[in-house]
Amino acid sequence: MTATATAPARIVGVGTAVPEHSYSQQEILDIFGIQDPRVRSIFLNSAIERRFLTLPPEGPDGARVLEVQGELLAKHKAQAVDMGVRAVQECLKEAGADLSDIGYLCCVTTTGFLTPGLSALVIRELGIDPRTSRLDVVGMGCNAGLNALNAVNGWARANPGRLAVMVCAEACSATYVFDGTMRTSVVNSLFGDGAAAVALLAGEPELPLPQATGPHLLKFASYIITDAIDAMRYDWDGDQDRFSFYLDPHVPYVVGAHAELVVDSLLAGTGLRRSDIGQWLVHSGGKKVIDAVGVNLGLTRHDLRHTTSVLRDYGNLSSGSFLFSYQRLLEERVAQPGDYCVLMTMGPGSTIETALARW
């Protein structure tokens, strides 16, 4: 490997996409006729104002038809491809790159099962060179974006001058179960549909990318909280005859209690302290999770402004949430050369993933 091949990769573009329709929490309660005061409280005190969703179709009586598992998988496939394609197109436009520039495509999704994987479907849909190297990261949940970004970063560094693209596409509305329980109500009140793509380039750029001013990725650190490995899971519910997502009520406290450990591991050996970090991009996992991470890391509301605003406007978008926050940070134009940024995601395992970047 040459010296150039070990140069850190830079983020050179980002793009996002959502379904056509969005709904307020009150609108969702009205559509499904939810009257249980406990469930209504969960929806209306979620710190979420709107979410983009693909709701079940209406039946002859105007009520929503509950989809069987096969229909949910078909919904996931259609939405993941549609949103993923549009996110990649916006990402390339932002980077000033073309489809023919893509040397590596990594696709991330958890909200459905696909064989062949999403990468093959996106390559066919966009007409990307079928010889393109690719990877599918499946089933890792909300933390998967940073796990995959670590792999994409490795490919970019090993192939300097070639463009690597990652897209996270999650049709969370394809995971909903409607049984009136508190368990499913928590999930149904939180997640939204969306996709986010990011492009990386390492070494001396062979591509004339006018927007290649994003931060370099310097380091990754992760931690599996093995004592809470079942606290977040998406598995088969025999009673409902479909897959179902589960969130333990103690997730916010478990994640918050381990946040310092992971960030300290990320910053170890860099000479940096938490106070040296100018920008924080934390996964919009939910109000209580964000509060727990903020308290344990000593972050301010300003530090978490993009995390909370993405939760407010989109809900929890699973693996691509942190890229929606990154896009908002770019739109602010406040990051200056030399600024450090910590990216953090949390998900099933229970796991916390982090990355350190610098403009």
Active site residues: 142
**Length of the chain in residues, anyone?**
359
DSSP state of 268: T
CA 43 – CA 49 distance, rounded (Å): 10
Contacts of 328 (CB under 8 A, 6+ apart): 306, 309, 310
Closest listed residue to residue 325, CA positions, set 287, 292, 279, 256: 279
- In which element (H, E) is residue 328 found? helix 321-332
CA 257 – CA 259 distance, rounded (Å): 6
CA 274 – CA 298 distance, rounded (Å): 9
Contacts of 92 (CB under 8 A, 6+ apart): 13, 15, 98, 99, 101, 102, 165, 199
State both tokens at 277. Answer: 């970090």
